[in-house]
Amino acid sequence: MNVKHDKEKVVQIGLNLFCSKGYTNVGLDEICSATGMTKGAFYNAFESKENFLLETLARFDKSNTERINTVLAPKKGVKAVDQLFEFYSYMIKVQPKVNFMGCMVNNMMSELGAINENVAHVTSKGFENIINAVEPCVQRAQHEGDINPDYDSKEMATLLHSTFYGVLTRAKSLGSNKKGLKTMELLFTNLKTK
């Protein structure tokens, strides 16, 4: 790669472009303009737009998993179920500030998952990594008696995150997060033990 281009910065720029505009709506000219790369340098570094997307997804997966592990780590005096609710609520509340950008994994899974095997594989792996990061907090909430321990914790984490993805998609199409916040509130109200 040309020494003038920091690959991490280039991948971050690509991540922002793909997340905000989608894969199909971002052309190579726009990528090169945003990153300052020539087409030759781009192809030398990434070989194709698809490979560039796969690298951005891998970077997102790594940083997102680290962030979730940090945010949902046990905190003294804070119930796990409250941590989960705050985690999902915050991500919905912030959507107007980020122009309803949504989530990179959800966006690419929705746009390309059914038509591109490589993207389907990488986004499915990213989704599983998210579930694996959320599950320990679900287990703590079950241990604390706030979520029924009869439910499988991985299935509960999958339910939470799948619902969240649906909420994000709807918020993006409506340009509003209000219904999404209500949906997550209703979900948590019904998941909690009485």
Query: Under CATH, domain 56-191 is a member of which superfamily?
Result: Tetracycline Repressor, domain 2 (1.10.357.10)
In terms of C-beta density within 10 A (0-12 exposed, 13-18 middle, 19 or more buried), how is residue 43 classed? Answer: middle
- In contact, 88 and 159? CB cutoff 8 Å: no
From the CA atom positions of the chain, what is the Rg in Å? 18
Distance, CA of 116 to CA of 133 (rounded, Å): 26
**What are the domain boundaries of the chain?**
56-191
What pairs with residue 147 in β-bridges?
192
From first to last of the 194 residues of the chain, give the pLDDT tens digit. Answer: 444 678 889 999 999 999 889 999 999 999 999 999 999 999 999 999 999 999 999 999 999 999 999 999 999 999 999 999 999 999 999 999 999 988 999 999 999 999 999 999 999 999 999 999 999 999 999 999 999 999 999 999 999 999 999 999 999 999 999 999 999 999 999 988 86
* Beta bridge pairs of residue 192: 147
Structure tokens at 151: 């439910």
